[in-house]
Amino acid sequence: MTEKPRDGDRRKAGSTPGGSAPAEPAAGDAPRVVIRNNRKITEPPAEPEGTAADAGSDVPAEGLVEDAEVVVDEIEVETGTVDGVTAAGPPVVDAPAEPVDAATSSTLGAELEALRADLDERTRDLQRVTAEYANYRKRVDRDRGVVAEQATGSVLAALLPILDDLDRAREHGDLVGPFGTVAEQLVTALGKFGLTPFGEQGDPFDPTLHEAVAHQTSADVTEPTCVQIMRRGYQLGERLLRPALVGVADPE
């Protein structure tokens, strides 16, 4: 004999008076809203185990289809390097050069000619200034040398009377001993400054170097000749410091 369950037992088992248990919603039944790739996607609720999706069904979920479409759109839009392969961009076409008209060409030619003329003028100015500077340096060096020579000549000209006294002492035989040695050293030192004596008996008469104070005729000469030296002359380089006083013999 079968024992019927009591009411208390049925309530403990969670049964309804109709005999069927109420269906409770699963945790994954509610749809989810997900944002992927800056797009709002509504995913369907997860299917319970043992459904056609888990058994390898070919029917894809709605959210997966939308995701695939988004990925395809991104691949079509993006450019650059994908997995190490550089995508070829659109061909670059150089802009054609603007044509130069005749007026512009003539203007450029005129400006070029003006620049060349200006360059030639500046070059001539530079050459002229360079030549003037070179001449200035030469003139300054020459003037400096002339001034130095004039100063030296002035000092030597003041010493010429002393040299005349030494010559007269030598003619009379008084230039001997230590006095003669000092006289020779003085003449040698003055010679280092370029002082050169001239005027010897028998030299041809030169009016630019000799000053004639006496004239005579002689059958022994064939041209005017210095036969007597009264005072020696001196030169400083090519410059005449003092002419020589001489007596001149003319041929008969």
Among residues 76, 53, 50, the alpha carbon closest in space to that of 64 is found at 53
Residue partners of 208: CB distance under 8 A and separation at least 6: 240
Q: Judging by beta carbons within 10 Å of its beta carbon (0-12, 13-18, 19+), is residue 68 exposed, middle or buried? A: exposed
Residue 244, pLDDT score = 94
Under 8 Å between Cβ of 169 and 186: no
pLDDT per residue rounded down to tens, the chain (252 residues): 444 445 444 444 444 444 444 444 444 455 666 666 666 666 666 555 544 434 444 444 444 444 444 443 444 444 444 444 444 455 555 555 555 567 788 888 888 999 999 999 999 999 999 999 999 999 999 999 889 888 999 999 999 999 999 988 988 888 888 888 999 999 999 999 999 999 999 999 999 999 999 989 988 888 999 999 999 999 998 889 999 999 999 988
Task: Tally Cβ neighbours within 10 Å of residue 108.
Answer: 11
Within the chain, what is the greatest distance between any pair of CA atoms?
Answer: 204
DSSP codes of every residue in 16-44: -TTS-PPPPPPTT-S-EEEEETTEEEEEP
**Three-state secondary structure readout of 93-157:** CCCCCCCCCHHHHHHHHHHHHHHHHHHHHHHHHHHHHHHHHHHHHHHHHHHHHHHHHHHHHHHHH
Q: What pLDDT, on a 0 to 100 scale, did the predictor assign at position 43?
A: 66
Find out whether 178 and 212 touch, Cβ atoms under 8 Å: no
The confidence score (pLDDT) of residue 146 equals 87
The predicted pLDDT at position 219 comes to 87
Cβ neighbours for 11, distance < 8 A, ≥ 6 positions apart = none
**Two tokens at 223?**
């041209």
218, 187 Cβ separation under 8 angstroms:
no
* Residue 141 in tokens: 């060096």
pLDDT at position 110 is 86
